[in-house]
Structure 1
């Protein structure tokens, strides 16, 4: 028989061991990123038409080339790759494809979800915003006016999706006034703040604060995460909770702290990070799509500047390593049991490139 006091000590010891971080798997993330990038170019790029395909095995024959959303994922990933390979010239190659989706229709120029030479489809505010965010990241990194011009173009387009119905906020899709979504307001806040940092124009900060207040009023969940959208006609909320929506709102708070130095925004960022860690990464496996998680990783990485606690990054890393172990197919692409589109491949490429950079900076 073990005396009661020793049972208590043994239980405490086991509890401490259980709570220790999982063993950090040794990965060369730069090598992994370079390999995935090579496979994406091999299996998705269509040099004759200067496009990318949506699926490597063409399981979507009704669409000859990829949607804009896929290029949003790839362009951001390639921005992170250019940080690793400064002379790679990846972004301009990507943008030569993105330009084929351009649509100068009133009320403002923007990018269609599918290239008009094949089929006229809708313009989504969030698709355009993802392009704008990458452009502004590239501007901050390179100081090239070209990227600032793209960011400003996207801002003008996204603001055509704003009205005062339901108290403000941006719609999700041009010509469709049925929903206002976190995915079209969260990145809108970030884009406005990036432009404010670049230009110091008060209009951009005012826009960011206006959109930020609207999202928190209508779409913040009691858990500290964020719901998907507000249905305008019924004034009801679609309560899906995706990692990318939480990611844009977490990152919005970090940017607001940078722009205003008000501690409340950093406190809010830390609170959202805690809530997201428990919900999305506690089980060591991704709950939703790779690209959705890449957007949340952007926020975690930026938060590291002000909160050195690495538990968010390390929990995320466990999920990455799990995916690398279980979900890489024979072609070196993500998707072992089912074909994944370019959005997913671009999402994982961005994740690997960001981890490669953090590995170089000795974050783990």
Structure 2
């Protein structure tokens, strides 16, 4: 082979190697798209919402939006937003084993801890700054995440936290309207899907961890009550029922569909009864038509994150990606249209609060997992 031919071969080889390298980088970029978005958002949240001086998180970037209650300016985050961050960082740790994030969020929640009787729980705000009410659903979100961490890591401290959240939530139970759980402590006006749906999941996760039948029995009681009192004709769930007269608060939110969908999946796993899987599929179909028929989310990111939990869990038994694909249209539209130069998400009223950013962080973490395990381009 002469010198000219050798040079041609070398050039072609370099070109082919370069093209393969570009393809590989392109494939990696495509396959890691949601993980990259997740990492960028987590950095943006820490840079913008985390107050390095106090160690607390801000609830809103705009001081004018920060709530005043009981004569105090509530500058920092309410508990709900930290619940969102707790679950989001748990999902990040599932795809990044070295992330080591949940312990720090757990520490951030401790100033909200209120040991008051009848059972200890977490208050809505930093106790020594502005003690407020204790919400059963806030504590249930903590319970769900902590028991998931226990299942994932075996760390008994998180089991103990989950049990504590179960014990607190059961103080919300009485026989008014035949059962069910109230929404918040010392407020006997309504019983809500948002306190009963996650309550079922906490009880079922306690049963999975202990095999103590009392947890399963209580879960089924709450489940049956919620189906009887709060299910819509289309198989979704109303927001609440008033104890005084049994009237229904007819708002329909994605997170209520999510907890009831996932409750059915858990019950199918535990009991093997196919009626639960059938009900899960019905909720998935109805929620897909109601919430994801277009390319915009109907309600907040965190609400949608809870429904995504149900869709992802259902994939173990229903391999149809149509639910994920419908959700993905809305997610991709947000990523394209609603990010600012800081990497935060915006709406008509400016930058969204920490709750919504925690919800989006969870969504991105879950999609990073889904993108790594499924062909998300399979259905349009």
Q: TM-score, normalised by structure 2?
A: 0.88
Instruction: State the 1:87 CA deviation.
Output: 1.7
Instruction: State the 1:57 CA deviation.
Output: 3.0
- Distance of 2:264 and 2:95 partners within structure 1: 27
Instruction: State the 1:27 CA deviation.
Output: 7.0
How many residues are matched?
A: 340
Asked whether 1:339 is paired with 2:344, we answer no
SS in 2 for 1:169: coil
Confirm or deny: 8 A CA contact 2:296 2:333 kept in the other structure.
yes
- Deviations along 1:320-351, one digit per CA (max 9) or x if unpaired, are 00111111112101115422110000000000
Aligned to 1:4: none
Confirm or deny: 8 A CA contact 1:77 1:347 kept in the other structure.
yes
Aligned to 1:266: 277
Aligned to 1:45: 50
Asked whether 1:355 is paired with 2:360, we answer no
Among residues 334, 346, 366, which one is paired with 1:323 in the alignment?
334
* Stretch of structure 1 that moved more, 29-38 or 328-337: 328-337
- Distance of 2:313 and 2:42 partners within structure 1: 24
Asked whether 1:307 is paired with 2:318, we answer yes
- Distance of 1:63 and 1:118 partners within structure 2: 8
Aligned to 1:29: 34
- Distance of 2:32 and 2:96 partners within structure 1: 19
- Deviations along 1:147-177, one digit per CA (max 9) or x if unpaired, are 1111000000000010001000000010000
- Distance of 1:240 and 1:250 partners within structure 2: 17
Among residues 112, 115, 118, which one is paired with 1:101 in the alignment?
112
Asked whether 1:156 is paired with 2:167, we answer yes
- Distance of 2:63 and 2:165 partners within structure 1: 30
Q: CA RMSD in A?
A: 1.2
- Distance of 2:204 and 2:262 partners within structure 1: 10
Aligned to 2:3: none
- Distance of 2:280 and 2:94 partners within structure 1: 25
Asked whether 1:55 is paired with 2:60, we answer yes
Aligned to 1:275: 286
Which consecutive residues of structure 2, in runs of 5 or more, have no partner in the other structure?
A: 1-29, 67-72
Instruction: State the 1:298 CA deviation.
Output: 0.1
List aligned pairs for 1:219-238, cutoff 5 A: 219-238=230-249
Confirm or deny: 8 A CA contact 1:169 1:214 kept in the other structure.
yes
Asked whether 1:189 is paired with 2:200, we answer yes
Asked whether 1:289 is paired with 2:300, we answer yes
- Deviations along 1:163-212, one digit per CA (max 9) or x if unpaired, are 00100000001000000000000000001001111110101100110000
Aligned to 1:166: 177
Instruction: State the 1:295 CA deviation.
Output: 0.1
- Distance of 1:232 and 1:83 partners within structure 2: 41
Which consecutive residues of structure 1, in runs of 5 or more, have no partner in the other structure?
A: 1-24
Higher-Rg structure is 2
Confirm or deny: 8 A CA contact 1:329 1:336 kept in the other structure.
no
Runs of 4+ in structure 1 over 4 Å off: none
Instruction: State the 1:56 CA deviation.
Output: 2.3
Instruction: State the 1:60 CA deviation.
Output: 3.2
Among residues 86, 110, 113, which one is paired with 2:97 in the alignment?
86
Aligned to 2:21: none
Q: TM-score, normalised by structure 1?
A: 0.92
Instruction: State the 1:137 CA deviation.
Output: 1.2
SS in 1 for 2:64: coil
Instruction: State the 1:58 CA deviation.
Output: 2.8
Asked whether 1:207 is paired with 2:218, we answer yes
- Deviations along 1:3-27, one digit per CA (max 9) or x if unpaired, are xxxxxxxxxxxxxxxxxxxxxx987
Distance 1:60 1:117, change over 3 A: farther
SS in 1 for 2:183: strand
